[in-house]
């Protein structure tokens, strides 16, 4: 019997409701907001198998603690597209993503995977580096993953990062122009009904992602799946059994409802998506995601989050490295 912690996801639903099962495994599922759950994992590591931030995982491996003795399964249930919901102050002078250079940008946590990938996309498409912008963290330090990982004591060098000190400050600063742009996440809402802010990407970021995909041949994943290393060591078959179950769950979700293939959150056009991107928009396995993970590890160093690029193979348990 395993304790599992995940955010609600349509590609996970067949696993949750028992349509799909992992052989000889029973999971007691707990569902919740990923940001809150990730903070719990960093504080007490109380779960056996769980969804987790790719960026936070890279950092945790370089700053090890006994409670963080985890290994990964190459399952990627969501895309890192929160940055596509960026809102800008109407007086900021920002018309396109290229205009973000030199601007002040707010997000829930500097360490979050969606932030890492937004910076990677800005670098790839517009040559904007992390130190070219000033970053404002909307989560209070007691809730910040970056603080739990120790970044407030050993921050990235040469990069301007400011932790805001009260709830709602990120939204207020964006509205009055003390921050130029931001994207919301759980706990860091933006009042988009005000006339002083507007979307950075009127098309929901579709062309931004398309341009990135044309250069890299992948779309960025947001989270992966971790298990306690001791469990994998004591049950050599477990990681592979879980990987196979997650893959069957995804395929069953696709079969039941074609909308579960959607990568974008609003007004998705699956015909357009299918004409541009991979037939499977949520590929699992190490082979299909190696280039993506290699860029994530490299970006983590560029962001000042880690000192050296992680060996991508070593992130995952031995029995699933051939997937």
Per residue in 219-228, pLDDT tens?
999 999 999 9
The class of domain 82-216 in CATH terms is alpha beta
pTM of the model: 0.97
Share of the chain above pLDDT 90, in %: 94
Give the separation between CA 292 and CA 217, rounded to whole angstroms: 9
Per residue in 22-75, pLDDT tens?
999 999 999 999 999 999 999 999 999 999 999 999 999 999 999 999 999 999
Give the separation between CA 184 and CA 138, rounded to whole angstroms: 9
Q: CATH 3.40.190.10 in the chain, residues?
A: 2-79+222-320, 82-216
Average pLDDT over residues 111-117: 98
For the cut 90, the answer to whether the pLDDT of residue 157 exceeds it is yes
For the cut 90, the answer to whether the pLDDT of residue 265 exceeds it is no
- pLDDT confidence of 250, banded at 50, 70, 90? very high
pLDDT of 269 reads: 83
pLDDT of 149 reads: 96
Give the separation between CA 255 and CA 250, rounded to whole angstroms: 9
Give the separation between CA 215 and CA 208, rounded to whole angstroms: 11
Nearest alpha-carbon partner for 58 in 192, 226, 281 = 226
The CATH code of domain 2-79+222-320 reads 3.40.190.10
- pLDDT confidence of 267, banded at 50, 70, 90? low
Detail the DSSP E strand segments found in the chain.
2-6, 27-31, 49-53, 70-73, 87-89, 104-107, 134-137, 160-163, 181-182, 197-199, 223-228
CA 163 to chain CA mean position, Å:
20
DSSP, collapsed to helix, strand or coil, labels residue 145 as helix
pLDDT of 152 reads: 86
């Amino acid at each position: 019997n395993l304790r599992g912690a995940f955010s609600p996801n349509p590609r996970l639903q067949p696993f949750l409701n028992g349509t799909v099962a992992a052989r000889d495994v029973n999971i007691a599922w707990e569902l919740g907001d990923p940001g809150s759950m990730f903070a719990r994992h960093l504080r007490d590591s109380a779960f056996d198998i769980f969804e987790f931030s790719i960026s936070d995982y890279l950092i945790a491996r370089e700053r090890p603690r006994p409670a963080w003795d985890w290994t990964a399964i190459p399952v990627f249930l969501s895309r890192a597209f929160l940055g596509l919901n960026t809102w800008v102050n109407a007086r900021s002078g920002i018309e396109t993503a290229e205009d973000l250079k030199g601007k002040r940008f707010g997000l829930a946590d500097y360490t979050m995977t969606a932030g890492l990938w937004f910076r990677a996309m800005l670098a790839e498409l517009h040559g904007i580096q992390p130190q070219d912008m000033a970053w404002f963290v909307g989560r209070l330090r007691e809730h910040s993953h970056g603080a739990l990982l120790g970044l407030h004591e050993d921050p990235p060098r040469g990069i301007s990062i400011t932790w805001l000190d009260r709830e709602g400050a990120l939204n207020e600063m964006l509205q009055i122009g003390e921050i130029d742009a931001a994207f919301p996440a759980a706990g860091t809402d933006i009042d988009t009904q005000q006339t002083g802010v507007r979307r950075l990407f009127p098309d929901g970021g579709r062309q931004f992602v398309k341009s990135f995909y044309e250069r890299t041949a992948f779309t960025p994943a947001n989270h992966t799946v971790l298990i306690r290393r001791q469990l994998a060591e004591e049950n050599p078959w477990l990681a592979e059994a879980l990987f196979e179950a997650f893959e069957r769950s995804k395929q069953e979700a696709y079969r039941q409802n074609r909308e579960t293939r959607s990568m974008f959150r609003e007004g998705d056009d699956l015909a357009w998506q299918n004409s541009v991107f991979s037939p499977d928009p949520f590929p699992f396995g190490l082979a299909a995601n190696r280039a993506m993970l290699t860029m994530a590890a490299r970006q983590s160093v560029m962001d000042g989050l880690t000192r050296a690029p992680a060996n991508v193979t070593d992130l995952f348990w031995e029995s699933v490295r051939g997937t």
